[in-house]
Amino acid sequence: MANVLMFAEVRGGELRKVALEALVAARRLAAASGGGAVHAVLAGAPGVGAHAAALANGGADQVLLLEHDGFAHYNPEALTATLAERLRGGSYGYALFSATAQGRDLSPRVAARLRTGLAPDLTGFRVEGDAVVGEHFTMNGKVVATLALSGSPALLSVRPAAFQPAADPRPLATEAITSAADPMASRVKVTALRQGNSGTLDLNDAPVIIAGGRGLKAPEHFRLCDELAAAFGNAAVGATRAVTDEGWRPHSDQIGQTGRNVSPTLYVAIGISGAIQHLAGMRTSKTIVAINKDKDAPIFKVADYGITGDAFEVVPALIEAVKQAKAQG
């Protein structure tokens, strides 16, 4: 039996959906290794403890609450010291992180501090004897590797959207903890957070993604994507590198090898050719729709449904049709 320490990601004071996903993975890990407890580390400025209830509801047996002004922003050095100290205590067999910019910054630091193994960005895993065996994309998403992770504590990070958040309520048990290093003395200091398109869903949280490519021809035509996203209601808008290079959309909207990895239920690619570097970031989407006037575009090789037509004719019709479908419930 081994306890699992999980790191609950907070950004700008908000608990991220990936934290609840990681909690589901942590519960599964605890169960697979003989039914240990799941402890969630929740760090932030005073007040962040308000999210403890969500973590208990998602399956945390205990919330380790680290409230200090020095954690108002992500504080990698103080968090590394604190997590390493907890893990050295010996009661944890595993530590679990989200494979996000934050989790993929923090987990290697902790692994190196403890000289222990880290299996990154897993899409699934199981426990086999003393080892965790999990799947991890390599080769730009073209090859799935199975990694065997041994040693204790073993560190894992799980890919956003690979696990679905679920209610698994426990009585709320919160323990206030202190930082193992002075959080105000970190050499690396986050001084500001620049949120992206606030008000719209983040690409990793949206069940539907409408992505536009160079085929849209001008930044103002992304209105078509925005309107289609609004018609779906639960959608975010993404783009190709051709588009972000042109400055039509911010770099943070870029999907692909050098951008975001997304895995929504529905991915609608509009005026996107389907270059391998783009496919690397979206090919694991559940259903893919492509609208492209070139019937030979590679995007049609991965699309479930394709329309080989002009986006400027097809998309307005699609917007109306989706609105109608939604209205009919």
Ligand X SMILES: Cc1cc2nc3c(=O)[nH]c(=O)nc-3n(C[C@H](O)[C@H](O)[C@H](O)COP(=O)(O)OP(=O)(O)OC[C@H]3O[C@@H](n4cnc5c(N)ncnc54)[C@H](O)[C@@H]3O)c2cc1C
**Stretch touching another protein by CB under 8 A, among 24-32, 163-171, 214-222, 308-316:** 308-316
| Cβ atoms of residues 192 and 80 within 8 Å | no
Structure tokens at 19: 């934290």
- Judged by CB under 8 A, which of 76, 124, 165, 298 binds another protein? 76
Per CB under 6 A, contacts with ligand X among 59-78 are none
The answer to whether the Cα torsion of 56, 82, 10, 151 is positive or negative is negative
- Report the nearest approach of ligand X to the CB of residue 114 (Å): 33
DSSP letter assigned to residue 202: P
Q: Does 1 bind another protein (CB under 8 A)?
A: no
Least spacing, CB of residue 278 vs ligand X, in Å: 3
x/- contact string, 104-143, with another protein (CB under 8 A)?
xx-xxx-xxx-xxxxxxx-----------x--xxxxxxxx
Q: Is the dihedral of CA 134, 157, 203, 140 positive or negative?
A: negative
Residue nearer to another protein on the CB measure, 14 or 166: 14
Name every residue whose Cβ is closer than 8 Å to that of residue 289 and which is 6 or more positions away in sequence.
266, 267, 268, 269, 303, 304, 305, 306, 307
The helix or strand, by DSSP H or E, that contains position 87, with its residue range, turns out to be: helix 76-88
Quick one: what does residue 272 bind among another protein, ligand X, none, with the CB cut-off 5 to 8 Å set by partner type? ligand X
Least distance to ligand X from the beta carbon of 40, Å?
Answer: 32
Q: Residue 126 has which token pair?
A: 């199981």
Residue 147 lies near another protein (rule: CB under 8 A): yes
| Tokens found for residue 217 | 């021809």
Both tokens of 232, joined, read 């779906």
User: Binding partner of residue 119 among ligand X, another protein, none, CB under 5 to 8 Å per kind?
Assistant: another protein
The option from ligand X, another protein, none interacting with 167 (CB < 5 to 8 A, set by class) reads none
Structure tokens at 4: 């699992």
The C-alpha atoms of residue 303 and residue 272 are separated, in whole angstroms, by: 11
- 223 contact, one of another protein, ligand X, none, CB 5-8 Å limit per kind: none
**Structure tokens of 132?**
């965790």
Interface residue with ligand X, options 58, 141, 213, 264 (CB under 6 A): 213
Provide the β-strand partners of residue 153: none
Q: Does 257 bind ligand X (CB under 6 A)?
A: yes
Contact positions with ligand X (CB under 6 A) in 270-329: 271-273, 275, 277-278, 281, 291-294, 297, 310-312
- As given in the structure block, the two tokens for residue 108 are 């290697």
Tell me whether residue 35 or residue 115 sits nearer to another protein (CB atom). Answer: 115
240 binds another protein (CB under 8 A): no
Range 189-218, binding another protein (CB under 8 A): 189-197, 202-204, 207-208
Q: Are residues 328 and 321 in contact, defined by beta-carbon separation less than 8 angstroms?
A: no
- At 214, list the tokens: 């160079």
Q: What is the rounded distance in angstroms from the CA atom of residue 291 to the CA atom of residue 76? A: 42
Contact 43, 70 (CB under 8 A): no
Residues 266-295 that bind another protein (CB under 8 A): 266, 276-277, 280, 283-284, 286-290, 295
Please, which residue, 56 or 272, has the CB nearer to another protein? 272
The DSSP bridge partners found for residue 64 are 41, 175
Asked if 318 interacts with another protein (CB under 8 A), we say yes
The DSSP bridge pattern shows strands 154-158 and 92-98 to be parallel
Contacts with ligand X, 138-167, as mask; x by CB under 6 A: ------------------------------
Residue 256 identity (one-letter amino acid): G
Beta carbon nearer to ligand X, 153 or 281: 281
Interface contacts to ligand X, rule CB under 6 A: 213-215, 240-243, 254-259, 271-273, 275, 277-278, 281, 291-294, 297, 310-312
